[in-house]
Chain A
Amino acid sequence: MTPAHALARCADIEGSTRAISLVRIGLALVIWARFAHDMALHSNTDGWHVFVSIWFFVFTSMMLVGLYTRLAVPMVALTLAVLYFVFGLGGVRSEWAAHHIYLLMAVTTLLSFTPCERSYSVDRYRAVLLANREGRSPPAEYGNLWAQRLIIMQMAALYFWTAVDKSGAPFLSGDRLEAILTWLHSGRPLEEILLLPAFLVPASVAIVLVEYFLAVGILVRWLLPIAVPLGLALHASFYVMLPLATYSITMIVLYLAVLPPDSVHRVIDRMQGHAPTPHRL
Chain B
Amino acid sequence: MSVCACGIIFAMATLEPGVEVSGRTALRRLRRAMVAIIGGFILFAPALPQVFGVQSPFCRPWIMYSGVAMGLLKGEFSLAKPDDSTETFAPLDVLGLERYPWRAGSGQPHQVDTVDDLSRAASRFCGTLRNGERLSFRGWMSTQRGWEPIEAVDICGAG
What residues of chain A have their CB less than 8 Å away from a CB belonging to chain B?
A: 7-8, 10-12, 85, 89, 99, 102, 106, 110, 113, 144, 146, 149-150, 153-154, 156-158, 160-162, 164-165, 169-170, 173, 175-176, 178-180, 182-184, 186-188, 242-244, 247
Q: Please tell me if the beta carbons of A188 and B99 are within 8 angstroms of each other in the complex.
A: yes
Bound Cα distance A170, B102 (Å)? 21
What residues of chain B have their CB less than 8 Å away from a CB belonging to chain A?
A: 28, 31-32, 34-36, 38-39, 42-43, 46-47, 50, 57, 60-66, 68-70, 72, 74, 92, 97-100, 102, 142, 144-147
CB distance from B118 to the nearest CB of A (A): 17
Q: Which among B31, B46, B64, B92 has the highest number of chain A CB atoms within 10 Å?
A: B64
Bound Cα distance A187, B91 (Å)? 11
Q: Please tell me if the beta carbons of A153 and B31 are within 8 angstroms of each other in the complex.
A: no
CB distance from B131 to the nearest CB of A (A): 31
Contact of B146 among A162, A170, A242, A247 (CB under 8 A): A170
Bound Cα distance A12, B100 (Å)? 51
The residue of chain B having its C-beta at the shortest distance from the C-beta of A10 within the complex is B35
Bound Cα distance A153, B39 (Å)? 7
| Main DSSP-derived SS at the A contact region | helix
The residue of chain A having its C-beta at the shortest distance from the C-beta of B148 within the complex is A175
Q: Please tell me if the beta carbons of A182 and B144 are within 8 angstroms of each other in the complex.
A: no
Contact of A183 among B64, B66, B68, B98 (CB under 8 A): B68
Q: Please tell me if the beta carbons of B146 and A8 are within 8 angstroms of each other in the complex.
A: no
- Please give, as numbers and ranges, the residues of chain A lying within 8 Å of B66 by CB-CB distance: 165, 176
CB distance from B137 to the nearest CB of A (A): 16
- Please give, as numbers and ranges, the residues of chain A lying within 8 Å of B46 by CB-CB distance: 157, 161
